[in-house]
Amino acid sequence: MTVEQTEARPEAKRWLCEMCGFIYDPEEGDPDSGIPPGTPFEDIPDDWMCPICGAEKSDFRALEPGEFPEM
Amino acid sequence: MITGYGHFVQLAESLQWDETAIDLTADIEAWPKLEQEESDQVLGLLAGFCIGETSVATHLTSFHGAATTDDRMDQVFQAQARDEARHARFFDRVVREVVGVPGANMTERVDVLRDRVSPDLVELFEERLPAVAADVAEDSDNLTAAVGLYHMILEGVVLTAGQHALLETLKGCSVAMPGTHKGMELVLRDERWHIGFGSRVIQSADIVDDQMEELLTQGVKAASAWGDLISTDDIGKVEHLHQRRLKSVGIKFW
């Protein structure tokens, strides 16, 4: 019996706006701003702003696996 | 999605500041040196903030009593009320110490300043907001609609537009007013989490499309409440942010 090994794909991190609590989820993207689902935060253009409060990308921090501030 | 209420409680605690600690010495010296047009613009915006922040500080107290389903939501409303009172004191301090607006207290100075802002702005903060706050005090089921007006429109559109306009105006003045600028930056920082909190309340309430449409429409109109004090470009920017924000809170929370 063979076991097909596949390279595990690291889960793209979610990012938290430290100004207003908005969580960017790469699975959802921000389609209304031209950011399609599946876009990692790092690939978002630098002039993108938080859709809730208008903060800049530099005001976000990465959430660690297992970190769920929305709970 | 937006963080939970516990996160906002911690965030509020970490962002406290003292409005009396801001040094206004340079601003006091700068004020008489400003061009007439500059001082008119700055004072018009400050007047709007004095009226707005005084009203929100007064009427937000109805909200936290209505947050009966979640103690943490109630704590966040209380933290926000503390911020709003501080904002009102800050702007009052600026108009009193820097501009020299007369009056024995904040209420008297607001009375002096009221003629400097548009009737639309006065109507929003001194008629609509008190009416909505009274509705909430009477029936806590009115809380979501109240948050829609307060957080999404008054803070998310009207005050946000004014904040950016005042910061831009101060940057462009012929003489620097660093204390007023610093305080305005801190106010803006507070307002960002207030808007995030309100967005979380709206998102959790799962309001239907026609209610969302009404919020969108009201916000678009409210942006013009500052009249000539805000440019049409800046009105457009804040309207766009308002639309993006409402679409974001329309996402179902899992």
Query: What is the complex's ipTM, to 2 decimals?
Result: 0.87
List the CATH number of the domain containing B173. 1.10.620.20
B106: amino acid identity, one letter: M
CB contact under 8 A, B253 and A17: no
Fold of A14-59: Rubrerythrin, domain 2 (2.20.28)
**How many structural domains does chain B have?**
1
Q: Which residues pair with A30 in a beta bridge?
A: A35
The distance of B110 to chain A (nearest Cα, Å) reads 28
Judged by a CB distance cut-off of 8 A, whether residue B72 touches chain A is: no
Of B4, B193, B244, the CB nearest to A69: B4
Burial of B205 (0-12, 13-18, 19+ CB in 10 A): middle
> What distances in angstroms separate CA B67 from CA A21, B20, B143, B222, one per listed residue?
20, 31, 8, 26
**B199 Cβ neighbours under 8 A, 6+ residues apart:** A20, A22, A52, B2, B151, B152, B245, B248, B249
Write out pLDDT tens, residues B62-89. 887 777 678 889 899 999 999 999 999 9
**The two structure tokens encoding residue B5:** 């209420």
One pLDDT digit (tens) per residue for chain A, 71 residues: 444 444 444 568 999 999 999 999 999 999 888 999 999 999 999 999 999 999 999 999 999 888 877 76
- Higher confidence at residue B58 or residue B98? B98
Residues 14-53 of A with CB under 8 A from B: 16-23, 25, 28, 30, 32-33, 49, 51-53
Residue spans of the domains in chain A: they are 14-59
CB contact under 8 A, A21 and B196: yes
Note whether A20 and A49 are within 8 A (CB). no
* Of B142, B126, B152, B151, residue with least CA distance to B54: B126
Domain housing B78: 23-248
Give the burial string for A14-42 (b: 16+ CB within 10 Å, else e).
bbbbbbbbbbbbbebbbeeeebeeebebe
Domain-embedded: residue B122: yes
Interface test with A, best of B73, B244, B251 (most A CBs within 10 A): B244
Interface test with A, best of B152, B195, B234, B249 (most A CBs within 10 A): B195
Domain-embedded: residue B11: no
**Segment among B58-62, B112-116, B171-175 with least mean pLDDT:** B58-62
CA distance B28 to B33: 10
Write out pLDDT tens, residues B83-108. 999 999 999 999 999 999 999 999 99
